[in-house]
Amino acid sequence: MALVGNRSWLIFFIAFAALLLVLVNGDDVFLEWQVNIDTTIKPVLADQPVITINGMFPGPLINATTNDIIHVNVFNNIDEPLLITWNGIQQRLNSWQDGVSGTNCPILSGSNWTYVFTLKDQIGTFSYFPSINFHKAGGAFGPIRVNNRVVIPIPFPTPEGEFDLLIGDWYQESFKEIRSILNNSIVNLRPNSMLINGHSRYPQTRNQTFAVEAGKTYLIRISNVGTEWSINFRIQNHLMLLVETEGSYTSQIILDSLDIHVGQSYSVLVTTNQGEADYYMVASPKMVNVPESSTLVGVGVLHYDDSTTPPQGPFPLGPDPFDINFSVNQAKTIRWNLTAGAARPNPQGTFNVSNVTLSQTFILQGSLAEINGYARYTVNNVSYRVPNTALKLADYYKNGTGTYQLDAYPANSSNPIASDGTFVVSGTHNGWLEIVFKNNLRVIDTWHLDGFGFYVVGFGNGVWTPDMRSTYNLYDPVHWYLGQELYIRVYDPDPNPAKERQPPSNLLFCGSVIPPSPQPPPPPPKRSRATTLPINW
């Protein structure tokens, strides 16, 4: 989800609760990824390094089914440490595979590491991307489809086909140059282009094209894989029927344009009911005013099979990019489809927040501060400092000693003095957490939540107060799975691996936690003088 300035607030509930798991075995999916730098792709006709996976930009599709077990062996052939995170995939019992700096040590240059995770009880449209060193501004992102099991019907007719649409802002500079600029200033750097599936609008011969048949319905899975800007997406002369977002089937609503914030994914149905021709697909940034000819307007083509007519006329109009009420009101209309099944046969409405008892409330204030002479974004006046040791590693082996101090910074108010630090707060095991996001910035502030699902139950302007809980939508809030950074430590003293698995056998180590010394092999058993004869059956 995203927020913009003018003292906006957004709250959601997050459940740290035990779930009843349906024991359904999935298939094993084995993938091998070679991650490299390619200087020949030139998405914006500039000499810049692009991070590819198996030579592809964007990266390859992960196409799997609920409960499949994914094995991804990542070979890091670039000259820097690398991590890949699986945006929106819940790492149930298995947060060792999440792929962010708080849970994993990076894959060092010239080495490889295999992620193993289960798409447990999930369906829908997701994406993956690199999570450290600003690599996302260089590529290595791609689509994830989690398909329904055969026994679970989808709540709409089977589409003729499916397309993955990855849209995001892109810089003229290399990701290393951007990183260097960000280390010194963050207020004047702006992307230069909008890419659709890795293609900028110039030259037009490289525009992303989807070939369709007239009179058919197609599912388009759209993800915002950019680094900064929210987008508005629309298709010339065609309406979109919203059906799913990040694992939640939605009440179906017809849209002529859709706001998609950084990290968000949606699925829409598009029916090809127009004349045989080509039609523009357009993605433009929010909170910035650009002319139609700007490279910051991404352009693709919906091509009818028998068309000989290129796209004509002006681009389809979207909302005023500064009309935040449009974005907020549209988000409020997106509701959970309570009667549809999803990953499990029981309806989505079986799981609700109408009888929640809150265990904690966090109030997280996004702001801009000057720390040691540099501009920094902060949470409660704290800019996150990445430690050398992964937090989960330090927690498991050293109870966090030497890496972070638990609850050193306030989770409900702003630190008196702007500072940088490793922000880790306590979360109640098996509890419900209410999180209020407050944004006084003049930009849309997008938050990503790794590893857990949450219900978006309220939006608003002005200063949030507890009285506003009476306005929450506790009936059918969308169960969304989704800069500024902090980590929540949820502690359970029970070492039962049914609650949280032990570290994987290929666990990477870094910082202050060194690999344990290998145990010497046991001595061979003493042999008797008796002769052992084979037994044949």
Which residue type sits at 169?
Answer: D
Which pLDDT score is estimated for 525?
58
Q: Please write the tens of the pLDDT for every residue from 500-519.
A: 888 999 999 999 998 877 76
162 burial (CB, 10 Å; 0-12 / 13-18 / 19+) is middle
Q: What is the DSSP letter of 438?
A: E
Residue 116's Cβ-side half-sphere holds a number of Cα atoms within 13 Å equal to 9
Q: Please write the tens of the pLDDT for every residue from 356-387.
A: 889 999 999 988 888 888 888 899 999 999 99
Q: What is the DSSP letter of 349?
A: G
Residue 440 dihedral angles phi and psi, to the nearest 5°: -105, 5
Report d(CA 302, CA 211) in Å as an integer.
Answer: 6
Report d(CA 396, CA 398) in Å as an integer.
Answer: 6
Structure tokens at 409: 């910074």
Structure tokens at 175: 């990701």
Closest CA to 152 of 65, 29, 250: 65
Which pLDDT score is estimated for 535?
30
Does the global pTM surpass 0.75? Answer: yes
* Of 5 and 305, more confident: 305
Confidence of residue 531 (pLDDT cuts 50, 70, 90): very low
DSSP H stretches of helix in 380-503: 391-398
β-strand pairing of 487-490 with 50-53: unpaired
Report d(CA 123, CA 110) in Å as an integer.
Answer: 34
Q: What is the DSSP letter of 510?
A: -
Domains along the chain? 28-147 (2.60.40.420), 161-336 (2.60.40.420), 352-491 (2.60.40.420)
Q: What is the DSSP letter of 471?
A: G
Rounded alpha-carbon distances, angstroms, from residue 325 to 234, 482, 495:
18, 22, 47
Say whether pLDDT at 476 is over 90.
no
Structure tokens at 440: 């006084």
Q: Which pairs count as long-range contacts for 355-361, CB under 8 Å and 24+ apart, including other chains?
A: 356/13, 356/432, 356/474, 357/432, 358/13, 358/432, 358/433, 358/434, 359/428, 359/431, 359/432, 359/433, 360/427, 360/428, 360/431, 360/432, 360/433, 360/434, 361/412, 361/433, 361/434, 361/435, 361/436
For the chain, give the mean pLDDT.
88
Confidence of residue 183 (pLDDT cuts 50, 70, 90): confident
Confidence of residue 490 (pLDDT cuts 50, 70, 90): confident
Which pLDDT score is estimated for 36?
98
Report d(CA 218, CA 208) in Å as an integer.
Answer: 16
* Of 189 and 134, more confident: 134
Closest CA to 58 of 144, 181, 121: 144
In this structure, the chain runs to a length of 537
Report d(CA 190, CA 171) in Å as an integer.
Answer: 7
Chain CA centroid to CA 483, Å: 14
Report d(CA 343, CA 121) in Å as an integer.
Answer: 5
Report d(CA 298, CA 280) in Å as an integer.
Answer: 10
Q: What is the largest CA-CA distance in the chain?
A: 94
Give the residues across from 114 on adjacent strands. 73
Confidence of residue 12 (pLDDT cuts 50, 70, 90): low
Give the DSSP H/E element, type plus range, for residue 178. helix 175-182
Residue 241 dihedral angles phi and psi, to the nearest 5°: -105, 110
Specify whether the CB–CB gap between 96 and 111 falls below 8 A: no
Which pLDDT score is estimated for 8?
66
What is the C-alpha end-to-end distance of the chain, expressed in Å? 65
Adjacency order of strands within the sheet including 454-461: 419-421, 382-384, 374-379, 358-371, 432-439, 8-15, 454-461, 479-480
Report d(CA 167, CA 200) in Å as an integer.
Answer: 10
148 burial (CB, 10 Å; 0-12 / 13-18 / 19+) is middle
Residue 371 dihedral angles phi and psi, to the nearest 5°: -130, 120
DSSP H stretches of helix in 334-432: 391-398
Structure tokens at 198: 């890795």
Adjacency order of strands within the sheet including 84-87: 62-65, 142-147, 124-130, 84-87
Which pLDDT score is estimated for 530?
35
How many C-beta neighbours within 10 Å does residue 504 have? 14
Q: What's the rounded mean pLDDT across residues 429-451?
A: 83
